[in-house]
Amino acid sequence: MSDTLPALGEDEIRQRLARELPHWYYENGWIRRKYRTEGWKGTLMVVNAVGHLAEAAWHHPDLAVSYAFVIVKLCTHSAKGVTERDFALASRIEALIQWQPAREGGVLEGTPNDDQRFRYIKYD
Ligand SMILES: C[C@H](O)[C@H](O)[C@H]1CNC2=NC(N)=NC(=O)C2=N1
């Protein structure tokens, strides 16, 4: 099993979040992010997407799940603090949940977010 990474200091955590993950915040020893959705179905899609990334990474967040939002919390149990693993997984989660193909000009048109029948993520 991989060795333990060192826990990062609070100042470094806050500076890196501001630079790399501006929608994430540091509170009570965890880096956290609130993803808002249009309702339960969208919420469960976010939960399952994060769940897949976590299992693939073998690094797991805590999740607070509500009707129209999910709070993702990350810290490294083995280091008893926030490590590079938390930043690496948070970056993957942020890129996936906030992915909007329509903004890339490629062949994928993306969810018709102007139609309340189809939109399911409230993008920041
Ligand atoms: C039991 C232990 O948590 C696991 O072996 C692995 C996998 N997932 C993990 N997830 C997190 N957040 N921290 C860990 O230290 C960790 N270790």
Residue among 30, 55, 74, 78 to mutate when testing ligand 1 (max atoms within 8 A of CB):
78
By percentage, how much of the chain surpasses pLDDT 70? 98
Q: Which residues contact 6 (CB under 8 A, 6 or more apart)?
A: 79, 83
Q: Which CATH superfamily groups domain 10-99? A: Transcriptional coactivator/pterin dehydratase (3.30.1360.20)
Q: Which residues lie with the beta carbon below 6 Å from any ligand 1 atom?
A: 58-60, 76-78
pLDDT reported for residue 31: 99
| Residue ranges in the chain whose pLDDT is less than 70 | 1-2
Task: Delimit the domains of the chain by residue range.
Answer: 10-99
Compute φ and ψ for 82, nearest 5 degrees.
-90, 130
- CA 42 to ligand 1 centroid distance, Å: 26
Q: Where are the alpha helices (DSSP H) in the chain?
A: 10-20, 40-57, 84-97
pLDDT reported for residue 121: 98
Q: Which residues contact 122 (CB under 8 A, 6 or more apart)?
A: 36, 37, 38
> Helices 10-20 and 84-97 sit at what angle, rounded to 10 degrees?
20
Take atom 5 of ligand 1 and give the residue whose Cα is closest.
Answer: 58
Q: Please tell me whether the interface predicted TM-score (ipTM) of this complex is above 0.90.
A: yes
